[in-house]
A and B are shown apart, each in its own frame.
Chain A
Amino acid sequence: MDLSTTYLGLDLPHPLMPGASPLVDDLDKVRRLEDAGAAAIVMRSLFEEQLAMEQLATVGHVDAHEGAHAEAASYLPSLDTFRLGPEDYLEQIRRIKQAVNLPLIGSLNGVTAGGWLDFAGQIAEAGADALELNVYFLAADPDESGEQVETRILEMVGAVKKQVQIPVAVKLSPHYTALANFARRLVSAGADGLVLFNRFYQPDIDVDELEVSRRLRLSDSKELPLRLRWLAILSGRIETSLAASGGVHTPIDAIKAVMTGAHAVQMVSALLEHGPEYLGQIKKGVAEWLEEHEYESLGQMLGSMNLERSPDPSGYERANYMEILQMWEA
Chain B
Amino acid sequence: MKKRRQITIDGNEAAASVAYRTNEVIAIYPITPSSPMGELSDEWAVHKRPNIWGSIPSVVEMQSEGGASGAVHGALQAGALTTTFTSSQGLLLMIPNMYKIAGELNGFCMHVAARTLATHALSIFGDHSDVMACRQIGFGLLSSGSVQEAHDFALIGLAASLRSRIPFLHFFEGFRISHEVAKIEELSDDDIREIIRDEWVEAHRERALTPDRPVLRGTAQNPDAFFQAREACTPYYQACPGIVQEEMDRFAALTGRRYHLFDYFGDPEAERVIVIMGSGAGPVEETVAWLNARGEKVGVLKVRLYRPFSVGDFVTALPTTTRSIAVLDRTKEPGAIGEPLHLDVISALREARDTGITPFQTDPKVIGGRYGLSSKEFNPAMVKPVFDELSHEEPRSHFTVGIVDDVSYSSLEVDPEFDIEPDDVVRGVFFGLGADGTVGANKNSIKIIGEQTDNFAQGYFVYDSKKAGAVTISHLRFGPRPIQSTYLIRKASFVACHQFVFLDTYDVLEYAAPGAVFLLNAPYGPTEVWDHLPREVQEQILEKDLKFYVIDAYEVAKETGMGRRINTLMQTCFFAISGVLPRDEAIARIKETIQNTYGKKGQEVVARNFEAVDRALANLHQVEVPKKVTAEQGRPPLVAAEAPDFVQRVTAVMMANKGDHLPVSAFPIDGTWPVGTTKWEKRNIALEIPVWDPEICIQCNKCAMVCPHAAIRPKVVEPAALEGAPPTFKSTDFRGSEFEGQQYLLQVAPEDCTGCTLCVVVCPAKDKANPRHKAIDMHPQPPLREAEAANYTFFLGLPDPDRKQIKVDIKGSQFFEPLFEYSGACAGCGETPYVKLLTQLFGDRALIANATGCSSIYGGNLPTTPFTANADGRGPAWSNSLFEDNAEFGFGFRLAIDGLADRARQLLRGLAPSLGDTLVGPLLESSQITEGDYAEQRKRVAALRSKLKGIDDPAAPVLDELADYLVRKSVWLVGGDGWAYDIGFGGLDHVLALGRDVNALVLDTEVYSNTGGQQSKATPLGASAKFAVAGREIAKKDLGLVAMSYGHIYVARVAFGAKDAQTVRAFQEADSFPGPSLIIAYSHCIAHGYDMARGTEQQKLAVSSGIWPLYRFDPRRVAEGLPPLKLDSGAPKTSAADYMRNETRFRMVEKVDPERFKRFLKLAVRHAEQRYAVYQQLAGLTIPNPEQETEQAPEPAGTTK
Alpha-carbon separation in the docked complex, A82 to B1150 (Å): 9
User: B1149 to chain A: which residues have CB within 8 Å?
Assistant: 82
Known contacts: A52-B602, A60-B563. The answer to whether A70 contacts B1151 by CB under 8 A is no
Known contacts: A58-B1144, A68-B470, A82-B1152. The answer to whether A51 contacts B604 by CB under 8 A is yes
Minimal beta-carbon separation of A10 from chain B (angstroms): 26
Known contacts: A58-B1089, A61-B1090. The answer to whether A77 contacts B1148 by CB under 8 A is yes
Would you call A55 and B601 a contact (CB within 8 A)?
A: yes
Interface residues of A in 29-85 (CB under 8 A from B): 51-52, 54-85
Would you call B439 and A77 a contact (CB within 8 A)?
A: no
Minimal beta-carbon separation of B244 from chain A (angstroms): 32
Residue interface bits B599-611, CB-to-A below 8 A is 1, else 0: 0111111011000
Alpha-carbon separation in the docked complex, A60 to B1094 (Å): 14
Q: Which of B607, B1086, B1090 has the most CB of A within 10 A?
A: B1086
Would you call A77 and B463 a contact (CB within 8 A)?
A: no
Would you call B32 and A70 a contact (CB within 8 A)?
A: yes
Minimal beta-carbon separation of A114 from chain B (angstroms): 8
Minimal beta-carbon separation of B336 from chain A (angstroms): 30
Known contacts: A71-B32, A71-B124, A84-B602. The answer to whether A76 contacts B1025 by CB under 8 A is yes
**A26 touches B (CB below 8 Å):** yes
Residue interface bits A186-225, CB-to-B below 8 A is 1, else 0: 0000000000000000000000001100000000000000
User: A78 to chain B: which residues have CB within 8 Å?
Assistant: 43
Would you call A63 and B1012 a contact (CB within 8 A)?
A: no
Known contacts: A69-B470, A81-B46. The answer to whether A210 contacts B463 by CB under 8 A is no
Minimal beta-carbon separation of A44 from chain B (angstroms): 11
User: B175 to chain A: which residues have CB within 8 Å?
Assistant: 70
Closest to A51 in B: B602
Alpha-carbon separation in the docked complex, A65 to B1145 (Å): 14
Closest to B474 in A: A67
Would you call B1010 and A76 a contact (CB within 8 A)?
A: no
Chain B interface size, as a band, is 35 or more
**B461 touches A (CB below 8 Å):** yes
Would you call B1010 and A85 a contact (CB within 8 A)?
A: no
Known contacts: A55-B605, A82-B1152, A88-B1151. The answer to whether A64 contacts B565 by CB under 8 A is yes
Would you call A64 and B598 a contact (CB within 8 A)?
A: no
Would you call A56 and B604 a contact (CB within 8 A)?
A: yes
Interface residues of B in 1010-1030 (CB under 8 A from A): 1010-1013, 1024-1026, 1029
User: B1155 to chain A: which residues have CB within 8 Å?
Assistant: 27
User: B437 to chain A: which residues have CB within 8 Å?
Assistant: 63-64, 66-67
Would you call A76 and B1013 a contact (CB within 8 A)?
A: yes
Would you call A68 and B434 a contact (CB within 8 A)?
A: yes
**A118 touches B (CB below 8 Å):** yes
**A239 touches B (CB below 8 Å):** no
Would you call A210 and B768 a contact (CB within 8 A)?
A: yes
Would you call A88 and B1154 a contact (CB within 8 A)?
A: yes
Minimal beta-carbon separation of B377 from chain A (angstroms): 16
User: A2 to chain B: which residues have CB within 8 Å?
Assistant: none
Interface residues of A in 80-114 (CB under 8 A from B): 80-85, 87-88, 92, 114
Closest to A92 in B: B1154
**B561 touches A (CB below 8 Å):** yes
User: B607 to chain A: which residues have CB within 8 Å?
Assistant: 114
Alpha-carbon separation in the docked complex, A114 to B421 (Å): 50
**B591 touches A (CB below 8 Å):** no
Minimal beta-carbon separation of A262 from chain B (angstroms): 31
User: B33 to chain A: which residues have CB within 8 Å?
Assistant: 70-71
Minimal beta-carbon separation of B508 from chain A (angstroms): 19
Q: Which of A55, A57, A66, A82 has the most CB of B within 10 A?
A: A82
Would you call A79 and B600 a contact (CB within 8 A)?
A: yes
Alpha-carbon separation in the docked complex, A81 to B1030 (Å): 9
Minimal beta-carbon separation of A242 from chain B (angstroms): 32
**A25 touches B (CB below 8 Å):** yes
Alpha-carbon separation in the docked complex, A76 to B601 (Å): 14
Alpha-carbon separation in the docked complex, A62 to B1149 (Å): 15
| B1086: contacting residue among A65, A80, A114, CB under 8 A | A65
**B443 touches A (CB below 8 Å):** yes
Closest to B561 in A: A56
Alpha-carbon separation in the docked complex, A114 to B467 (Å): 38
**B206 touches A (CB below 8 Å):** no
Contact sample, A vs B, 11 pairs, CB 8 Å cutoff: A27-B1155, A51-B602, A68-B470, A70-B124, A71-B124, A75-B1012, A76-B1025, A76-B1026, A79-B600, A81-B1152, A82-B1148
15 further A-B pairs in the complex, CB-CB below 8 A; given A79-B601, A211-B771: A58-B601, A60-B1091, A61-B1090, A63-B440, A64-B565, A68-B463, A70-B175, A71-B857, A72-B1011, A81-B43, A82-B1024, A85-B600, A85-B602, A210-B766, A210-B768
Nearest 7 Cβ contacts at the A-B interface: A68-B434, A72-B1012, A55-B602, A67-B439, A210-B771, A52-B604, A70-B463
